[in-house]
């Protein structure tokens, strides 16, 4: 049995709605089909409403194959304690945590505690931390909760994360919270596909834009001609065609196959949180999806953003919308003064679908707002300096797509000059990447709403390590979309060398995105302190979003010995865009 800590820190007021368990929905029909021999006889349970909440410091978790039904048809999934999402784990800062995980599946599994600072052998990455959890085995994770805030956990084995193996973590502060609230909800966003993830990846390998159903047509070209004239429209099309790229290449996997979920609820169902007018509500947003960036807003309410990646920041007031990358978390405070139902609307970045929930005082479901137009990539998103280029004539002389000498990093050494050229692993390079911390990103620019940017984020507490970095590691995020190959510096993980850090040193990582996609880069075991212009209050993050054609930098104090994973958190990119970091 799970033991329950009865002590709660002063200032902490958990939501009153946390008694019922929520299990995988729509599973009874799966059991019927299993009896007919149409699908394996997997565990199944009846639908219910809420994600279960378990309280520590001791937890018992089981990993099982189950049958789920999010779309009207039963499909195989991976669940923890019979729930998708997995149970929310609530623990307390300073407690010694024990989590016993039993694998009831026929394949090896694992759990990574995303954003938690803990010993390397507790990090949960097969091949680095340990060998994984074999079928029938129980692995005991033990660590001290040295932080507080909003985090999450997921499998780090194969595609199990895509098939349902993810859940939220809330670590309560041992001291009074710096923000006040009356209700506390987790909003865990995710993406679900009925397809086998191996099939999804195979389709992407054959055709990188397989799931993009919004490529340009002749009708689009005629609209451009009416808008800008034939010659300019033709030159614009020629430019994109010559580069063999698309300005609609926003997401690899889209709503064509994905159903987007909020706390395991489809948009038709809609997750619901209750409130009384005048109450302050804390919403802990977690992006637990495999591949989807979400743009989140709550129509009719301004948001006060108070935490990023589990770390308190100086509150950012008056926010209408924020983009949350895969694996990021944001905590916001809202205070509805009037009763009614307010929509929590999380559009996929490519506008191919949305996750949905309601804050309701009357039990009603909120009205779904209209979708924004599908975004288009610009030359800035390709890292281009358009100065001196005559786009009207289609002159491409100012652009070099054959390769550049780029400032790079011999991995694990001091900064050096390396050559990065287009080729089998790279189909484009950013010609003039810029730091764009105040850029809300494609699809959010000049939309009439106040959108959070990285430039707004400052840590609530002073930076602990004030040392200047002793060296810089510069990495290019590279890929070949048509072949669906991803890498750092054009070198995939299987051909790479580890990145070596000296224990205790302070290092600057500079990332340059040579692709047309946003990449969420996650360093395990240590904080990434984002350089936003105020060195005294560097925000500590575990996942850094690098926009297309942009560069970004952050500081790392190598204070955790061992070997750690470092990778893009887009699940189907991770195989190539991955490095081992060794701190010794």
Q: How many CB atoms lie under 10 A from the CB of residue 557?
A: 18
* Core vs surface per residue 320-343: b (16+ CB within 10 A) or e: bbbbbbbbbbbbbbbbbeeeebbb
pLDDT at 3 over 60: no
Q: What angle do CA 12, 339, 25 make, to 5 degrees?
A: 70
> Whole-angstrom Cα distance, residue 309 to residue 7?
25
What does the alpha-carbon distance between residue 135 and residue 108 come to, in Å, rounded to a whole number?
6
Return the sign of the alpha-carbon dihedral for residues 218, 222, 228, 234: positive
Residues 6+ apart with CB under 8 A from 205: 483, 484
CA of residue 327 relative to chain centroid, distance: 3
pLDDT digits (tens, 9 = 90+) for 433-485: 999 999 999 999 999 999 999 999 999 999 999 999 999 999 999 999 889 99
What is the pLDDT at residue 36? Answer: 31
522: how many CB neighbours lie within 10 A of its CB?
23
DSSP H or E segment with residue 80: strand 75-80
pTM higher than 0.85, yes or no?
Answer: yes
User: Does position 241 have pLDDT exceeding 50, yes or no?
Assistant: yes
DSSP 536-581: GGPPEESEEEE-TTEEEEEEEE--S-EEEEEEE-STTTTTTSEEEE
How many C-beta atoms lie closer than 10 Å to residue 364's C-beta? Answer: 12
Consecutive H or E run containing 231: helix 230-243
Q: Which residue has the higher pLDDT, 238 or 407?
A: 238
> With bands split at pLDDT 50, 70 and 90, how would you rate the model's confidence at 141?
very high
Each residue's pLDDT tens digit, 329-388: 999 999 999 999 999 999 999 999 999 999 999 999 999 999 999 998 887 777 765 443
Quote the CA–CA distance of 198 and 289 in Å, as a whole number: 16
Mean predicted confidence (pLDDT) in 311-315: 98
Can you give the pLDDT at residue 21? 35
Could you give the CA distance from residue 53 to residue 14 in angstroms, rounded to a whole number? 12
Please give the C-alpha separations between residue 16 and each of 170, 183, 184, 274, in angstroms, as whole numbers: 15, 7, 9, 9
Q: How many helices (H) and strands (E) does the chain have?
A: 4, 34
Beta strands in 104-182 (DSSP E): 112-114, 138-144, 149-154, 166-172
Phi, psi of 537 (to 5 degrees): -140, 55
Over range 499-513, report the average pLDDT: 98
The mean predicted confidence, pLDDT, of the chain is 86
pLDDT at 457: 98
CB of 333 within 8 A of CB of 181?
A: yes
C-alpha span between 472 and 537 (Å, rounded): 20
């Amino acid at each position: 049995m799970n033991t329950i800590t009865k002590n709660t820190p002063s200032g902490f007021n958990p939501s009153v709605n946390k008694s019922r368990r929520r299990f995988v929905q729509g599973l009874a029909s799966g059991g019927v089909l299993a009896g007919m021999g149409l699908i394996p006889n997997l565990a199944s349970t009846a639908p219910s409403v809420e994600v279960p909440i378990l309280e520590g410091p001791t937890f018992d978790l089981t990993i099982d194959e189950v049958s789920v039904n999010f779309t009207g048809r039963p499909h195989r999934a991976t669940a923890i304690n019979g729930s998708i999402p997995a149970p929310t784990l609530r623990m307390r800062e300073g407690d010694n945590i024990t989590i016993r995980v039993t694998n009831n599946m026929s394949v090896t599994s694992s759990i990574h505690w995303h954003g938690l600072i803990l010993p390397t052998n507790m990090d949960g990455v097969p091949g680095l931390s340990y060998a994984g959890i074999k079928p029938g085995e129980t692995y005991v994770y033990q660590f001290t909760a040295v932080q507080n805030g909003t985090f999450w956990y997921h499998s780090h084995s194969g595609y199990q994360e895509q098939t349902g193996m993810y859940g939220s973590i809330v670590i309560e502060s041992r001291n009074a919270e710096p923000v006040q609230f009356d209700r506390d909800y987790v909003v865990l966003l995710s993406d679900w596909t009925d397809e086998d993830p191996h099939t999804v990846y195979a389709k992407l390998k054959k055709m990188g834009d397989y799931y993009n159903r919004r490529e340009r047509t002749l009708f689009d070209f005629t609209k451009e001609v009416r808008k800008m004239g034939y010659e300019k429209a033709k030159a614009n099309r020629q430019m994109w065609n010559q580069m063999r790229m698309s300005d609609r290449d926003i997401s690899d996997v889209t709503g064509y196959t994905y159903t987007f979920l909020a706390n395991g609820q489809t948009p038709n169902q809609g997750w619901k949180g209750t409130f009384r007018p005048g109450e302050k509500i804390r919403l802990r947003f977690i992006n637990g999806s495999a591949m989807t960036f979400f743009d989140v807003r709550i129509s009719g309410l301004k948001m006060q953003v108070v935490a990023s990646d589990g770390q308190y920041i100086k509150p950012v007031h008056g926010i209408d919308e924020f983009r949350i990358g895969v694996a990021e978390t944001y905590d916001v405070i809202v205070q509805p003064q009037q009763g009614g139902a307010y929509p929590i609307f999380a559009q996929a970045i490519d506008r191919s679908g949305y996750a949905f929930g309601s804050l309701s005082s009357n039990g009603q479901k909120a009205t779904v707002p209209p979708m924004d137009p599908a975004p288009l990539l610009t030359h800035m998103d390709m890292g281009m300096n358009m100065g001196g280029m005559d786009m009207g004539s289609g002159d491409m002389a100012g652009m070099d797509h054959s390769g550049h000498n780029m400032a790079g990093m011999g991995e694990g050494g001091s900064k050096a000059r390396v050559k990065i050229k287009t080729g089998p692993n790279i189909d484009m390079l950013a010609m003039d990447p810029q730091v764009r911390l105040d850029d809300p990103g494609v699809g959010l620019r000049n939309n009439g709403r106040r959108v959070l940017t990285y430039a707004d984020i400052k840590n609530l507490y002073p930076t602990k390590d004030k040392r200047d970095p002793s060296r810089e590691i510069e990495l290019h995020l590279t890929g070949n979309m048509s072949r669906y190959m991803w890498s750092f510096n054009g070198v995939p993980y299987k051909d790479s060398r580890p990145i070596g850090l000296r224990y205790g040193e302070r290092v600057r990582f500079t990332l340059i995105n040579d692709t047309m996609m946003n990449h969420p880069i996650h360093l395990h075991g240590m904080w990434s302190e984002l350089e936003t212009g105020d060195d005294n209050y560097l925000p500590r993050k575990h996942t850094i979003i690098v926009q297309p054609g942009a560069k970004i930098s952050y500081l790392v104090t190598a204070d955790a010995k061992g070997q750690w994973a470092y990778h893009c958190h887009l699940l189907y990119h991770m195989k190539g865009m991955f490095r081992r970091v060794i701190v010794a």
